[in-house]
Amino acid sequence: MKKPLSKCIVTGILFVAIAGTLAHFLYEWTGKNILVGLITPINEAVWEHIKLLFFPTLLFTAYAARCFREDCPHIGYALCRGNLLGCLLIPTLYYTYTGALGMHFSAADIAIFFLCVLTTFLHAGHLIRTGQAEKHRLLTVLCTSLLAAAIFAFTLFPPAVPLFISP
């Protein structure tokens, strides 16, 4: 299981890093298509940048659950839990460093994205290796579904709080 899992983790990191980077520009490239905007950032709000990790990871999870199910039967749950952790870290790290420094830096924002991609997949790998991936399956699916619904809802109807406001 070690080699297929390592292959899955490395492939996932590369896929999400590239797809997430490209997704940052996709809304503009498509002439601000609202359907594209539901899964890619429509502005520079911190909340919108969660989409850069969430949807590419969700897409890779569907692929991995199909392709690696023999060697890693619970890879889908592990990746969903890793995805939730990575998405939680994006605003946490952003507001921690900007609160401490009083300003933000684009290089730090980019580094946060890549750090969260790594965290997502390394956490998923850890869950598989320790046999913890199948724990809390229903809660994992529920939280992943709720986050997707929240992303859609807050894209269309963003609350007037800093997390959702483009600087």
Question: At 36, which helix (H) or strand (E)?
Answer: helix 34-37
Structure tokens at 154: 């807050």
pLDDT given at position 54: 98
Q: What is the mean pLDDT of the segment spanning 150-157? A: 97
- Distance (Å, whole) CA 66 – CA 109: 32
Convert the pLDDT of each residue in 21-60 to its tens digit.
999 999 999 999 999 999 999 999 999 999 999 999 999 9
pLDDT surpassing 60 at residue 1: no
pTM for this structure? 0.95
46: nearest Cα among 109, 126, 129, 135: 109
CA distance 130 to 89: 22
How far apart CA 107 and CA 131 sit, in angstroms, is: 36
Per-residue pLDDT band at 69 (split at 50, 70, 90): confident
pLDDT above 80 for 2? no
User: 74-108 in b/e burial notation, b at 16+ Cβ within 10 A?
Assistant: bbbbbbbbbbbbbbebbbebbeebbeeeeeeeeee
Q: Which runs of consecutive H residues, i.e. helices, occur in 46-160? A: 46-49, 51-67, 75-101, 106-129, 137-156
Summarised one tens digit per residue, pLDDT across range 88-107 is 999 999 999 999 999 999 99
Q: Tell me if 91 sits within 8 A of 48, measured CB to CB.
A: no
pLDDT at position 100: 96
Task: Give the C-alpha separation, 127 to 135, whole Å.
Answer: 9
Encode pLDDT of 105-153 as tens digits: 999 999 999 999 999 999 999 999 999 988 899 999 999 999 999 999 9
Distance, in Å, from the CA atom of 79 to the CA atom of 77, rounded to the nearest integer, reads: 5
